[in-house]
């Protein structure tokens, strides 16, 4: 999809220009077509040659330089864009744009485009808080412009506070979401709960039982659902992954904590996708002090944890309930049994023995089994693309509800 999308990146003068270079590289890697327009001030920080090499395209700098006599450059690229991103956006460019000033290549192009515009501000914390800047930003909001909120932290000027341009990864996520959301209106406003990762069942203050789940599949599902416009709550066991953009992350540790958290959110949800690898058993007793090594073997008595998916199936009303089954044998038989025993609408099953579809990897292959007997195969692909295909398969279930 990205290969058909045109991003016009307007780069203005601030120390965060180096982040704009990184963003250009990431956009190209994701398959977007990118054209870059730079102000004179931006060129004081990074040369146009850098952006030319990264975008693999001409860099536009001067309204009065027309490389193609058959076209007016600033009109041509304004019409070419599917989305315009101003990153970094200084107080100066925000003020000019809010007041209709067109005195260079960037501003003339911005006034000429009819494409959606995203603005990633970057400036000193006091500049960001100045009444004039606030007024100009609000004016642009009324024009329909969208902001990529700056981060708080250490600024190049030495101050600490809000004003750091958003990271390239976050801007890329917002760009992805912009296009994905437009093409997936059925998900807009839906409340989706996703579980992810392992659980840890403690035996003493330093030891616990767990499994190999990384959480990557669940996090990918949450990210893709949020990109489609859903309100996503991600209930995650311990994981090294960062919360996906636009997702409400609720961190838990044990199966019991996950059980309570999921049930507390269940009634408000339209879709529940339980991708977490929850422990089936936990130590029956917890030792408040560290267990000391002794001679001979050690036995730990285990007890069953509550079956989260089964109890959700028992209380399900109009929700779409989706489970996961990571199996080493009899995949189809076990998956179909779980559909009936847990009252699921769909289950995504995979073999942990197949190369590329086990725990901790970046790829997966799934077979989707439905309560009505239908099956869909998702061939080996990235977990993000597998997540997208899984969400596509859920849409008819939403329609049915």
Banded pLDDT at 154 (limits 50, 70, 90)? low
| CATH top-level class of 187-283+300-400 | alpha beta
Alpha helices for 45-186 (secondary structure H): 48-55, 73-80, 91-98, 105-112, 125-128, 131-142, 168-182
- Residue from 157, 206, 291, 352 carrying the catalytic annotation: 157
**What CATH number was assigned to the domain covering residues 2-177?**
3.40.50.1950
Residue pLDDT, tens place only, 309-334: 999 999 999 999 999 998 888 888 99
Banded pLDDT at 159 (limits 50, 70, 90)? low
> Domain limits of the chain?
2-177, 187-283+300-400
Mean pLDDT of the chain: 93
Banded pLDDT at 3 (limits 50, 70, 90)? low
Would 2-177 and 187-283+300-400 be classified into the same CATH topology?
yes
Residue pLDDT, tens place only, 31-70: 999 999 999 999 999 999 999 999 999 999 999 888 788 8
Q: Which of 122, 57, 59 is nearest to 93 (CA)?
A: 122
Residue pLDDT, tens place only, 231-258: 999 999 999 999 998 899 999 999 999 9
Mean pLDDT of 183-192: 91
Mean pLDDT of 88-103: 97
What is the model's pLDDT at position 102?
95
Cα separation, 38 vs 43, whole angstroms = 7
Pick from 154-168, 176-190, 220-234 the range whose average pLDDT is largest: 220-234
Cα separation, 207 vs 291, whole angstroms = 9
Give whole-number Cα distances, 35 to 5, 56, 187, 271, in Å. Answer: 11, 9, 31, 39
**End-to-end Cα spacing for the chain:** 29
DSSP symbol at 187: G
User: Is 10 tagged catalytic?
Assistant: no
Q: Which of 339, 175, 334, 158 is nearest to 245 (CA)?
A: 175
The tokens of 280 are what?
């089936």
């Amino acid at each position: 999809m990205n290969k058909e999308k045109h991003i016009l990146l307007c780069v203005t003068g601030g120390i965060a220009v180096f982040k704009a270079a990184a963003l250009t590289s990431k956009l190209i890697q994701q398959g977007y077509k990118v054209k870059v327009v730079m102000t004179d001030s931006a060129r004081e920080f990074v040369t146009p040659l850098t952006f030319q090499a990264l975008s693999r395209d001409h860099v536009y700098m001067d309204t009065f330089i027309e490389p193609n006599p058959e076209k007016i450059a600033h009109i041509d690229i304004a019409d070419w864009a599917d989305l315009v991103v101003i990153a970094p956006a200084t107080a100066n460019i925000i003020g000019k744009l809010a007041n209709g000033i067109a005195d260079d290549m960037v501003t003339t192009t911005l006034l000429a485009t009819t494409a959606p515009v995203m603005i990633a501000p970057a400036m000193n914390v006091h500049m960001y808080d100045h009444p004039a800047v606030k007024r100009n930003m609000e004016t642009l909001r009324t024009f329909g412009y969208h902001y990529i909120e700056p981060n708080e932290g250490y600024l190049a000027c030495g101050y600490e506070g809000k004003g750091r341009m958003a990271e390239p990864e976050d801007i890329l996520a917002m760009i992805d979401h912009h296009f994905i959301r437009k093409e997936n209106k059925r998900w807009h406003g839906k409340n989706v709960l996703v579980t992810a990762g392992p659980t840890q069942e403690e035996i003493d203050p330093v030891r616990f039982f767990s499994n190999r789940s990384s959480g990557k599949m669940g996090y990918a599902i949450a990210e893709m659902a949020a990109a489609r416009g859903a309100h996503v709550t991600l209930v995650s066991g311990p994981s090294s992954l960062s919360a996906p953009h636009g997702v409400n992350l609720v961190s838990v540790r044990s199966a019991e904590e996950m059980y309570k958290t999921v049930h507390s959110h269940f009634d408000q949800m339209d879709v529940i996708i339980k991708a977490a690898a929850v422990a089936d058993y936990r130590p029956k007793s917890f030792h408040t002090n560290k267990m000391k090594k002794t001679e001979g073997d050690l036995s730990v008595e285990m007890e069953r944890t509550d079956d989260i998916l089964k109890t959700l199936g028992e209380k399900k009303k109009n929700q779409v309930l989706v489970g996961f089954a990571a199996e080493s044998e009899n995949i189809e038989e076990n998956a179909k049994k779980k559909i009936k025993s847990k009252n699921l609408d769909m289950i995504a099953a995979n073999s942990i023995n197949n190369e590329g579809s086990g725990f901790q990897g970046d790829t997966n292959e799934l077979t989707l089994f439905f309560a009505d007997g239908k099956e869909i195969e998702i061939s080996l692909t990235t977990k993000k693309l597998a997540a997208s295909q899984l969400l596509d398969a859920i849409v008819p279930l939403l329609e049915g509800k």
